[in-house]
Amino acid sequence: MENETATKIIPDLETNLVQYVREKLREKLDSSSIKPKWDWQGAPVYEIGDSENGYVVLWHDNEVQYFVRVRRIRHNGFRLGRQVLLWRNPKSDVTNGFAQKVFFSVLLPKYGALIADKEQTKNGSAFWGNAIVSAFDRNLHVYFLDRRSRKTQLTELLDEHDLGKYRKELWGTTPSHLLTFAIISKTPLVLRKKGS
């Protein structure tokens, strides 16, 4: 596991990359005896991989309708989950609400805390903004992790006012946005002191 930085806004994912991953997931599901873990609105949901790396895949009408690749990372002494690649079919009604379900009911319980990806599309940053608001409603812990100076800072965000205060620092297109992150955690987080 590597120590990574970032939450920089990038253009939408390349169609070729998305298509490649969808085809590989389709091959995996077609050629193996993987069974669905649960279903969403009558569509099977597959969880592929282990506790370090994996995919959650929504399958409907003989096609991948949604996938997210997740990886466990180490960051400032924390072990966190990170969604590193996500795609959903915007034309499919079965995907409505599914990303939030996966985030809060599958990934957060599995990893304990989720950190924003090192680069996100505008849709990705909008998802995180909505997830943070939902996290406040669920009494979860939300943080702004700032690695722009030599002394890393972890600031707990308590409400939407705090989110508004840090929004421009959390997401943007400058090189400094490669050093700022949002984190949602089930438990309180404290930065580890150097040398411990």
Binned at pLDDT 50, 70 and 90, residue 77 comes out as confident
- With a cut of 70, say whether residue 2 has pLDDT above it: no
Return mean pLDDT, the chain.
87
DSSP 72-87: EEEETTEEEEEEEEEE
Phi–psi pair at 44, nearest 5 degrees: -70, 145
pLDDT, one tens digit per residue, over 141-166 is: 999 999 888 889 999 999 999 999 99
pLDDT, one tens digit per residue, over 97-142 is: 999 999 999 999 999 999 998 778 788 888 999 999 999 999 999 9
pLDDT given for residue 14 in this prediction: 55
This model's pTM is above 0.95: no
pLDDT given for residue 118 in this prediction: 76
Binned at pLDDT 50, 70 and 90, residue 18 comes out as confident
- Please give the single-letter amino acid code of residue 103: F
Q: How far is CA 47 from CA 56, 100, 143, 183, 192, in A?
A: 5, 16, 28, 23, 32
Place of tokens 């009604």: 93
Comparing 8-12, 27-31, 137-141, 146-150, the range with the smallest average pLDDT is: 8-12
79 or 10, higher pLDDT: 79
Intra-chain end-to-end CA distance of the chain, in Å: 19
pLDDT given for residue 194 in this prediction: 59
Percent of the chain with pLDDT over 90: 58
